[in-house]
């Protein structure tokens, strides 16, 4: 994995989540996603949408996590993250 200091944080997170050493990934090399727009940008760059929850759990700030859960607040779904992903345009998550 080649994480360049000039690369934006969103690009670094995408590279980390798509990279071959993802599971041993050095999550400390990136800042947590701090806006919903950046969260959406990382989702759009993922090779495997299944890694979205790892992004959410490991690399997303609490304020953005709250925003994502708020998206599904009225859905009545027992799986709020899955419901939020559907609202964000990922019905096959």
Counting residues of the chain whose pLDDT is more than 70, the rounded percentage is: 83
Distance CA 77, CA 80 (A): 6
- Identify the pLDDT of residue 55: 93
Tens digit of each residue's pLDDT (9 = 90 or more) over 54-77: 999 989 999 999 999 999 988 888
Q: Is 72 inside a domain boundary?
A: yes
Quick check: is 44 in a domain?
Answer: yes
Whether 22 maps to a domain, the answer reads: yes
24 belongs to a structural domain = yes
Tell me whether residue 18 is in a domain. yes
pLDDT band, residue 1 (cuts 50/70/90): very low
Instruction: Examine residue 93 and state whether it is found in any structural domain, yes or no.
Output: no
Domain that holds residue 65: 9-87
What are 35-60's pLDDT values in tens digits? 999 999 999 999 999 999 999 998 99
Evaluate whether residue 1 is within a structural domain: no
Among 42, 54, 57, which residue's Cα sits nearest to residue 88?
42
Q: Please list the residues that pair with 60 across neighbouring strands.
A: 33
């Amino acid at each position: 994995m080649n994480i360049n200091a000039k690369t934006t944080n969103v690009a670094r997170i995408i590279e980390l989540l798509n990279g071959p050493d993802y599971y041993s990934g050095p999550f400390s090399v990136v800042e947590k996603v701090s806006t919903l727009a950046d969260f959406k940008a990382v989702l759009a760059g993922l090779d495997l949408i299944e890694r979205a929850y790892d992004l959410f759990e490991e690399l997303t700030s609490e304020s953005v996590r709250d925003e994502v859960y708020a998206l599904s607040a009225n859905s009545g779904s027992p799986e709020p993250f899955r419901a939020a992903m559907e609202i964000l345009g990922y019905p096959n998550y």
